[in-house]
Structure 1
Amino acid sequence: MQWTPKTQNCINLGSYNYLGFADDWMNTCASMVLPEVDTHTVCSNSPSAEFGTTPVHVELEALVAEFIGKEAAIVFNMGYGTNSTSIPALMGPGTLVLSDALNHTSIVNGIRASGAAVAVFKHNSAKHLEVMLRTKIAAGQPRTHRPWKKIFVVVEGIYSMEGEICKLRSIVDVAKKYKAYMYVDEAHSIGALGDTGRGVCEYTGVSPSEIDILMGTFTKSFGGMGGYIGASKEVVSLLQNASSGHFMGTSLAPVVAAQVLASFKVIMGRDGTNIGATKLKALQDNANFLRQGLMDAGMVTLGQFDSPVIPVMLYSISKIAEFSRQCLLRNMAVVTVGFPATPLLLGRVRFCVSAAHTRADLEEALKNLADVAKVCHIRFHKHMFG
């Protein structure tokens, strides 16, 4: 990849901008954010435990906890680091972790760093999860065969390379049966699923009280950066002292914290408007419209309706770069993905839908994508063959 000075106006079908705050920031959030530039420095220049906590951080953590239905919350300056530095603080030797086969790299690396024993269960399969739990509990810890100190089940709300929504209800039921803690990564689902944007718990009818650890990021739906964990006060206190990403890393920039706080207030209607509800409805409508259009054009999509992540299968390695080039020729910016992020012969393009997309944007995109699909020979949907 090489930087060039050339610019081109495109329909953006690849960025994480689910609720469109990156587009209408000046109209929706600026009045609540810009005063922070005058009040605080642009960068906190210190970890939260030292001088990096400001009133806006405290207010943000309180509002996040309220929004997701947990007793307390802690915010981090990086979404990836939220998982990779908090998981080792929660899990360690003597802990058994049941991890979904398609969990994000940040989860995988966090579990590896923790020293916990890990067992991978088939993607989104509560049945296989139960088999693994029964087997591992019966065997106990390696060598000593003593009971496990703790057991965690770790899943995602929406799987970012598949666009699939977690079958949370059935997985939680299994975890309860075997007294395992639940850790749910809502990076792609918070602000994007549920009638009020409260994520996969709201969408699947699972009470937040049934989830021990709720993790999420501010980069997808909130127009900011960083991440959070919501849990009990005891767990949050532990993370404040044991998560290296919190006590060693510079805290979230105050101006970014203000942006995230403002977007939460818009989503919750606390700005005095219905902009948040309108955005949530637009995101769902746009996601379903684009998914149906891609299927009608003969493309094989992964995931399900209501997910703002829509992968389309390219399969062959040779089609990955060509698909991207053909889209760029038609003024569409897309993200294509291949090995090692996916299996060798399961390359794909991942579309990310936004509430900011107009119906005209999506209609134009579908027209052009149908042409690209013909050029690249990726119309593999079964209805294309009668």
Structure 2
Amino acid sequence: MTTGRPPRSPSPSSSPDPFQVKRSSVARLPPSTIATSYPSSGHEASVYAGNRSITPTSTPSLSVSSSTSSDDTVLDESDDHDLHTALTSEQISSTIRNEFGYCANQNYRCVSQHNPEKPVAEDEIEEPPYYILFTTYLSYLLVIVFGHLRDLIGKRFAKSSFTHLMPYDGYAPLNSDFDSFYTRRLKQRIDDCFSQPIASVAGRTILVYDRYSEDFNRTQIYTGTTTRALNVASYNYLGFAQSHGGCADAVEESIKRYGVSTCGTRLEGGTCDLHRIAEALVARFVGTEDALISSMGFATNSTVIPALVSKGCLIISDEHNHASIRTGARQSGAHVRMFKHNDMRSLEVLLREVISQGQPKTHRSWRKILVIVEGLYSMEGTMVNLPKIIELKRKYKFYLFVDEAHSIGALGPHGRGVTDYFNISPSSIDVLMGTFTKSFGAAGGYIAGAKPLIDSLRMRGYCGPYAEGGAPCVLTQIIASMASIMGVSSDLVLPTSTSTPISESSVNEVLMPSVADERPLPSKVPASALPAWLSLPPLLSDGSEAYERIRRLAFNSRYLHAGLKKLGFIIYGHPFSPIVPLLIFNPGKMPMFARMMRKLKPTPVAVVVVAYPATPLVTSRVRFCLSASHTKEDIDVVLRACDELGDLMDLKHGRGERWPIEEIVTRSVELVHSI
């Protein structure tokens, strides 16, 4: 069974179909213009480390970006200094420790990889007791009743406070009382739990401005003080969000060379040389022929999807796909159908239906069928069942689009996403999308795939001809962090048996090998493919530190996931997911949990709570976001805090065997390897 007849060849006046462009050999691209040499300013990572010899001889030391003293203190306030004065070695040491925790124990490592001998586990959704659901619905009912009652009374007796909801002086009201009810009566009351202003890098710890409200969060009053908290609320999976270290030094050097705007050194067509280097590096990293970089992750989906499909095409989307995917699908003009979240049976039933029925009314065959899924879902922490989708793709001949915004860098033994995790060739997927904000400490997004597809998107996708390019400092962060994950080799060798070195002029061609051969992903990037002025510390350059980061992230994810399970909480997500949602259900418990975590002594914890409309009405949750910068002791702090609050707030409704907190902390390694 197929999707129907192939699309008709476009007329001379129409744009070519990006999926149907005839595959050809990779065209020789013009060589990247590497920036000329510049006198070094001497900002090496070792300057920040000073003369601290703190790494045990039994453990390979991390570079300055992760090497800190062996002090067991989770938080350290000593980095509250004037940023305009020179930093002492002690202040630098404490700052680095706050940004990336030191962990020498190699037992606290794990490899993120699927066991091919076991089937892909289906998502298990635990239901709470009925009294929890009853009280949750009752809470919302009380909010609605008393909220509307206050609106009714207020409009009569306190008109000055409700002018935005009432006609005034011949003008219509600014807001509808019904449409704005949720924002005014529920979200506004817990606004102190959202959009917290910070005063530091969002690394292992975070510095939060203290504030309070005297009018139910209509306004916030700042006390002028800050609180340092353990940060489990930021997307910083590999810990590259740092102000010190090799990547930060590279960004600083790029600012000196290119400035801070998008108008750096340009080549023909208005493309910065760093932009072209970054695109070639991304293609090499994910294992595709070519890649296209956008300056904004949301815009990557919302502008590229309309260039892939149009009227007469069908988009089949997971019901929990991100808003950027939904926006792009609506703008495309294609027909959109959704299947149950990560349910492969639901997807196959839907495929059979749409293929057999064809387009509505006319029942003609679909021009294209595009299935869009995410590698890792940000609200549930669930992972796509990629092997099953690939099996369905071979059977039903649809095109596959995988959004790896949260999975790239965070999954797989080499940090290359779900294809790496399941050991599936990237050539099996037509379009790979990802962002640089989660694992790489940068900004923007990318689309990777076959070169004819990417060439077409450069012309037809709005993010190509109409959007601005990435700033040189952002592109440098992408290049430095991604190169450190891959490792840098001194010699450029062809991926063949001849091992013939190539000149710098053909770097771009080699960086985009044909995926038709399904060769293994290259282990390292040649030094000649990077900017000539870029110099990474040895432990970043050889990839050893990134390897440690990937394994630390895998251990932290599995440890928190398993620990919360053993404590008795209801949680969602895959054990290897760095996103761990803990279900709270009741809307009143949600702000209480966040506020109490923020007030914990001696170690406050910054968390993010999520509720409707980002989640279903009765599944409010706290969403822990883990990082390689966290230590095992940091996860212990989170588990102990959750254990205490879980008992206090009646949150432990999960099934299965329960362990006391001390047993979880003591048997952490055994627990991680048992799931």
Q: Which TM class, normalised by the smaller chain length?
A: over 0.9
Structure 1 stretch 289-298 or stretch 337-346: which is displaced more? 289-298
Q: Secondary structure at the match of 1:29?
A: helix
The structure-2 alpha-carbon separation of the partners of 1:315 and 1:181, relative to structure 1 and needing over 3 Å to count, comes to: same
Give the fraction of aligned pairs with identical amino acids, expressed as a percent.
43
Q: Residue in 2 aligned with 1:7?
A: 226
Matched, 1:226 2:444: yes
Matched ranges for 1:310-329 at <5 A: 310-329=580-599
Structure 1 stretch 376-385 or stretch 213-222: which is displaced more? 376-385
Contact 1:96-1:150 within 8 A present in 2 as well:
yes
Letter paired with 2:365: P
Q: Residue in 1 aligned with 2:499?
A: none
Q: Residue in 1 aligned with 2:648?
A: 375
Letter paired with 2:234: S
The structure-2 alpha-carbon separation of the partners of 1:226 and 1:50, relative to structure 1 and needing over 3 Å to count, comes to: farther
Contact 2:316-2:371 within 8 A present in 1 as well:
yes
Matched ranges for 1:232-271 at <5 A: 232-270=450-488, 271=541
For residues 343 and 123 of structure 1, the distance between their equivalents in structure 2, rounded to whole angstroms, comes to: 13
After superposition, the C-alpha distances for 1:76-104 in whole angstroms (9 at most, x for unaligned) are 11111111111111111111111111111
For residues 44 and 185 of structure 1, the distance between their equivalents in structure 2, rounded to whole angstroms, comes to: 26
Which of 265, 287, 303 aligns to 2:557? It is 287
Q: Residue in 1 aligned with 2:429?
A: 211
Q: Residue in 1 aligned with 2:631?
A: 358
What's the offset of the Cα at 1:243?
Answer: 1.6
Letter paired with 1:302: Y
For residues 385 and 167 of structure 1, the distance between their equivalents in structure 2, rounded to whole angstroms, comes to: 29
Matched, 1:83 2:356: no
What's the offset of the Cα at 1:205?
Answer: 2.4
Contact 1:153-1:175 within 8 A present in 2 as well:
no
Q: Secondary structure at the match of 1:174?
A: helix
For residues 629 and 278 of structure 2, the distance between their equivalents in structure 1, rounded to whole angstroms, comes to: 24
For residues 325 and 53 of structure 1, the distance between their equivalents in structure 2, rounded to whole angstroms, comes to: 47
For residues 15 and 193 of structure 1, the distance between their equivalents in structure 2, rounded to whole angstroms, comes to: 17
Q: Residue in 1 aligned with 2:371?
A: 153
For residues 327 and 229 of structure 2, the distance between their equivalents in structure 1, rounded to whole angstroms, comes to: 35
Contact 1:13-1:332 within 8 A present in 2 as well:
yes
Q: Secondary structure at the match of 2:316?
A: strand
What's the offset of the Cα at 1:273?
Answer: 4.2
Contact 2:376-2:406 within 8 A present in 1 as well:
yes
Matched ranges for 1:61-76 at <5 A: 61-76=279-294
What's the offset of the Cα at 1:371?
Answer: 1.2
Which of 53, 59, 64 aligns to 2:271? It is 53
For residues 348 and 130 of structure 1, the distance between their equivalents in structure 2, rounded to whole angstroms, comes to: 31
Letter paired with 2:238: L
Letter paired with 1:132: L
Which of 263, 286, 306 aligns to 2:576? It is 306
Q: Secondary structure at the match of 2:278?
A: helix
Contact 2:314-2:369 within 8 A present in 1 as well:
yes
For residues 166 and 385 of structure 1, the distance between their equivalents in structure 2, rounded to whole angstroms, comes to: 28
Which of 329, 343, 346 aligns to 2:619? It is 346
Q: Secondary structure at the match of 1:57?
A: helix
Structure 1 stretch 321-330 or stretch 212-221: which is displaced more? 321-330
Letter paired with 1:303: G
After superposition, the C-alpha distances for 1:21-62 in whole angstroms (9 at most, x for unaligned) are 113x5223133322211221312159x998652111111100
The structure-2 alpha-carbon separation of the partners of 1:339 and 1:333, relative to structure 1 and needing over 3 Å to count, comes to: same
What's the offset of the Cα at 1:368?
Answer: 1.3
Matched ranges for 1:154-193 at <5 A: 154-193=372-411
Q: Residue in 2 aligned with 1:16?
A: 235
The structure-2 alpha-carbon separation of the partners of 1:381 and 1:52, relative to structure 1 and needing over 3 Å to count, comes to: farther
Contact 2:307-2:461 within 8 A present in 1 as well:
yes
For residues 317 and 160 of structure 1, the distance between their equivalents in structure 2, rounded to whole angstroms, comes to: 20
TM-score, normalised to structure 1's length?
0.95
Q: Secondary structure at the match of 1:106?
A: helix
For residues 556 and 464 of structure 2, the distance between their equivalents in structure 1, rounded to whole angstroms, comes to: 36
Report which structure shows greater RCO (CA 8 Å, sep ≥6): 1
Matched, 1:93 2:366: no
Q: Residue in 2 aligned with 1:42?
A: 260
Q: Secondary structure at the match of 1:10?
A: strand
Matched, 1:137 2:335: no
Contact 2:307-2:457 within 8 A present in 1 as well:
yes
For residues 304 and 136 of structure 1, the distance between their equivalents in structure 2, rounded to whole angstroms, comes to: 30
Aligned positions, number: 384
For residues 384 and 321 of structure 1, the distance between their equivalents in structure 2, rounded to whole angstroms, comes to: 29
For residues 17 and 198 of structure 1, the distance between their equivalents in structure 2, rounded to whole angstroms, comes to: 16
Letter paired with 2:557: A
For residues 421 and 259 of structure 2, the distance between their equivalents in structure 1, rounded to whole angstroms, comes to: 38
For residues 459 and 608 of structure 2, the distance between their equivalents in structure 1, rounded to whole angstroms, comes to: 38
After superposition, the C-alpha distances for 1:238-282 in whole angstroms (9 at most, x for unaligned) are 221122223212111110010011000111122124011000000
What's the offset of the Cα at 1:132?
Answer: 0.7
Q: Secondary structure at the match of 1:378?
A: coil
For residues 7 and 90 of structure 1, the distance between their equivalents in structure 2, rounded to whole angstroms, comes to: 48
For residues 28 and 11 of structure 1, the distance between their equivalents in structure 2, rounded to whole angstroms, comes to: 24
The structure-2 alpha-carbon separation of the partners of 1:327 and 1:384, relative to structure 1 and needing over 3 Å to count, comes to: farther
Letter paired with 2:342: N
For residues 368 and 144 of structure 1, the distance between their equivalents in structure 2, rounded to whole angstroms, comes to: 59
For residues 410 and 365 of structure 2, the distance between their equivalents in structure 1, rounded to whole angstroms, comes to: 39
Q: Residue in 1 aligned with 2:546?
A: 276
Letter paired with 2:228: N
For residues 387 and 357 of structure 2, the distance between their equivalents in structure 1, rounded to whole angstroms, comes to: 27
Q: Secondary structure at the match of 1:257?
A: helix
Q: Secondary structure at the match of 2:639?
A: helix
Name stretches of at least 5 consecutive residues in structure 2 with no aligned partner. 1-190, 192-218, 489-540, 660-675
Q: CA RMSD in A?
A: 1.8
Letter paired with 2:599: L
Contact 2:267-2:273 within 8 A present in 1 as well:
no
Letter paired with 2:308: L
Letter paired with 2:298: Y
Contact 1:187-1:217 within 8 A present in 2 as well:
yes
Letter paired with 1:21: F
What's the offset of the Cα at 1:122?
Answer: 1.3
Letter paired with 1:327: M
The structure-2 alpha-carbon separation of the partners of 1:355 and 1:146, relative to structure 1 and needing over 3 Å to count, comes to: same
Name stretches of at least 5 consecutive residues in structure 1 with no aligned partner. none
